[in-house]
A and B are shown apart, each in its own frame.
Chain A
Amino acid sequence: MHMAEEHALPLGKTLEEERAWFEAQVKECEAHLLRFAYYLTGNTERAKDLVQEAFLRAFQYRHSFDHRYPFENWVSAILLNIHRQREKKDRFLKFFSAFWQAEQEDEEDFAEQLEDEGEGPETIALKRQVIRDVYRCIERLPAKMKEVMVLCDIMGYSYEEASEVIGCPIGTVRSRLHRARRYVKKALEAAYGDELLGLWG
């Protein structure tokens, strides 16, 4: 926890002070939360909306924030809860609506951003393909496995931090993450066979 001293202080006395404190916190972790939301939803607009809602709810419940923990993880936990509620609602709607139109998924192919570090066009094309495949696998994982994989692998959280965000024991994070990776591994094995190990330098 390398947060500046002023952030570790309790909330301000007046509403103005509280707002100022909150907005300073928000500025520090907004980009991070947007990434988290993006990987959960797979859609830019939904990600923005989710972050907006999470911050708003965080502000409403600012007095329940425990200053010994990072603000970012606290809002991440709120964001994850909102995401879960929305997913539940979406499933409900999909179940009851035969005319449900699948929302247009994000067309952005960010594998294109993977830079060629002098590996040659063929290698980089293959690497991009692997990234796309892994992303697609993670997208299709069951919700709980997806959460840990996004947190631990994509966002680089430790098991302990992930368990704080998800609200479960560390052992649960460990087993879910293992199952998630095994799932992705099996999908890759099916797609690439014996060549799999040669794909990534």
Chain B
Amino acid sequence: MSFLGFGDENMRCREVARKLSAFLDEELSREEYLRVQRHLEMCALCRKEYEKFALVRAVARKLGDITPRVVPGEGFSLERAFRSVRRVRVLWALVAVLGLFVALLFFWGWQRASLEEQILDVEHFAAFSEDVLTRGKVRVETLEFLAGEYR
């Protein structure tokens, strides 16, 4: 590519390279379009670039022509779309209710377990204190007995 360009009224290669795509689509102003065109007539290197861009576009266009076989199926209907939305909503509601139920079950189980623990605690305490008391009583009796002996 020539960085010297082809004089002032013509564009330089680098500038042309930026505009090739829009030139191809005829999306340039009339003036710009003509300038690019004139440059391409003179510059073989830019012409080659242009042809490559044209090839890419042509292949992509062809790609658009050979439509993938997307079978539209039954086609869109509002009725069906609403129904499917409702179905999804109902499903979510069910999931939510189920989740809530499971959570309640867990909570209830936990509550029960902790209650049982408390009961056990109480029983344990009772047993313990009874033990202490009886042992205490034994000790008192022993003391009394010893005291009696002493006397």
Taking a contact as CB atoms closer than 8 A, the residue among B60, B67, B76 that contacts A51 in the complex is: B76
Number of contact residues on A: which range applies? 35 or more
Assess the A153–B27 pair: CB atoms within 8 A.
no
Q: Is chain A's binding surface mostly helix, strand, loop or mixed?
A: helix
As a 0/1 sequence over residues 21 to 62 of chain A, the CB contacts with chain B under 8 angstroms (1 = contact) are 011001100110011001000001001100110011001000
> For residue A35, which residue of chain B has the nearest CB?
B67
CA distance A185 to B67 in the complex (A): 22
Known: A23-B77, A59-B78, A159-B27. A130 touches B59 (CB 8 A): yes
Interface membership of B4, Cβ < 8 A? no
Assess the A134–B56 pair: CB atoms within 8 A.
yes
Task: Point out the residues of chain B lying under 8 angstroms from A106, CB to CB.
Answer: 68
As a 0/1 sequence over residues 154 to 186 of chain A, the CB contacts with chain B under 8 angstroms (1 = contact) are 111011000000000010001001100110110
Task: Identify which of A1-9, A96-104, A109-117 touches chain B.
Answer: A109-117
CA distance A182 to B24 in the complex (A): 13
Task: Point out the residues of chain A lying under 8 angstroms from B55, CB to CB.
Answer: 185, 188, 196-197, 199-200
Among residues 89 to 119 in chain B, which have CB atoms less than 8 Å away from a CB atom of chain A?
none
Interface membership of B123, Cβ < 8 A? no
Task: Point out the residues of chain A lying under 8 angstroms from B77, CB to CB.
Answer: 23
Known: A51-B76, A178-B20, A185-B52. A110 touches B60 (CB 8 A): no
Instruction: For the A-B complex with A48-B73, A108-B68 known, give 11 more contacts whose Cβ atoms are closer than 8 Å.
Output: A22-B78, A55-B81, A59-B78, A131-B66, A134-B56, A138-B60, A174-B22, A177-B21, A178-B22, A181-B56, A197-B52
Interface residues in chain A, defined as those with a beta carbon under 8 Å from any beta carbon in chain B: 19, 22-23, 26-27, 30-31, 34-35, 38, 44, 47-48, 51-52, 55-56, 59, 106, 108, 110-111, 113-114, 130-131, 134-135, 138, 149, 152-156, 158-159, 170, 174, 177-178, 181-182, 184-185, 188-189, 196-197, 199-200
